[in-house]
Amino acid sequence: MPVLIPRSVDELVEVFQEHPAAKLLAGGTDYMVEVNLHGRKPEIMISLRQVKELSEWSMRASQSRITIGAGVPYADMEHGEIARLVPALAQAARTVGSPQIRAAGTLGGNLGTCSPAGDSLPVLAALDATIHVIGPEGTRDIEFADFMVGVKRNSLQPSEFVHSVSLPIIAGWQGYAKVGTRNAMVISTASACLVRDSDEGIVTIALGSVGPTIIRAHSAEAWLMKSASLRAGATLDPSVAEEFGRQVALESRPIDDHRSTAEYRRHAVGVLAQRLLTRSFS
């Protein structure tokens, strides 16, 4: 099977346009499982590893935004500057697979696969990330809410690829938590990312593995805004956190499958929401 190896974004655009049926390969931690275990046989692959620009990140202080290339591996998000600026992304990255998977697996690959269990995705949803994509028609920006359209389905068009993701730098608290069948090397049965912007007095929460897409619990967010002060220095009544967890659970749409029952998932995501909100005030 031929593997094309572009060395720049321009070359990538060109070869992907010439071969729209080609399969993109970043770290290969999802796709090579498809090839080796599930019999996928792509006619042509395009390796992204030599496109240096995809593995870069940058910070625009004037706009308080960080832009992270699609090819940045989890290992680079776990510690250092990205972890300092987007701590919830670092927490999510640390829960992914093993060190080997985190060295190879990328943000772009998580978005390409678009599983409801993808650990980076609730973080992107809670932070209202913008996905920058490039294709034959040029560049376009897709809000995360419009990017994921179903189980393992995204809104990329033929020959389009994820170039990078940009996220706001929030003054306040953010955290990610996940529940699985064991402590490590596990796909989540429920996950959540909560962001408390204490300048704006806003909390956002996004849920993973409890619906066909990542779910933003908008009703629970709105209820919380009316029920508690979320600004810096405020305190939280434990009964508010408990009710918030209950309301978040109501917005989940889990199913029974080999990893968990829907009932357990709904319960777990409510507990995660309650704990994350409580932590954001401690």
**Contact positions vs ligand FAD (CB under 6 A):** 23-31, 33, 48, 70, 95-97, 101, 104-106, 108-110, 112-113, 118-119, 156, 161-162, 187
Nearer to ligand FAD, 76 or 221 (CB): 76
Shortest CB 164 distance to ligand FAD, Å: 9
Shortest CB 187 distance to ligand FAD, Å: 6
| Residues ≥6 apart with Cβ < 8 Å to 36 | none
Nearer to ligand FAD, 187 or 276 (CB): 187
Shortest CB 51 distance to ligand FAD, Å: 9
Closest to 270 measured CA to CA, from 245, 250, 234: 245
Q: How far is CA 209 from CA 49, 217, 247, in A?
A: 29, 13, 17
Nearer to ligand FAD, 48 or 66 (CB): 48
CB-neighbour burial class of residue 53 (10 A; exposed 0-12, middle 13-18, buried 19+): middle
Whether residue 35 contacts residue 41, with contact meaning beta carbons closer than 8 Å, is answered with yes
Tell me the three state secondary structure of residue 173: strand
d(CA 119, CA 192) in angstroms, rounded, equals: 9
Nearer to ligand FAD, 53 or 242 (CB): 53
Nearer to ligand FAD, 214 or 241 (CB): 214
d(CA 242, CA 246) in angstroms, rounded, equals: 6
Nearer to ligand FAD, 96 or 124 (CB): 96
Q: How far is CA 103 from CA 21, 22, 29, 71, 239, in A?
A: 27, 24, 10, 11, 41
Shortest CB 128 distance to ligand FAD, Å: 20
Shortest CB 261 distance to ligand FAD, Å: 20
Whether residue 118 contacts residue 187, with contact meaning beta carbons closer than 8 Å, is answered with no
CA 125 from centroid of its chain's CA atoms = 7
Shortest CB 230 distance to ligand FAD, Å: 29
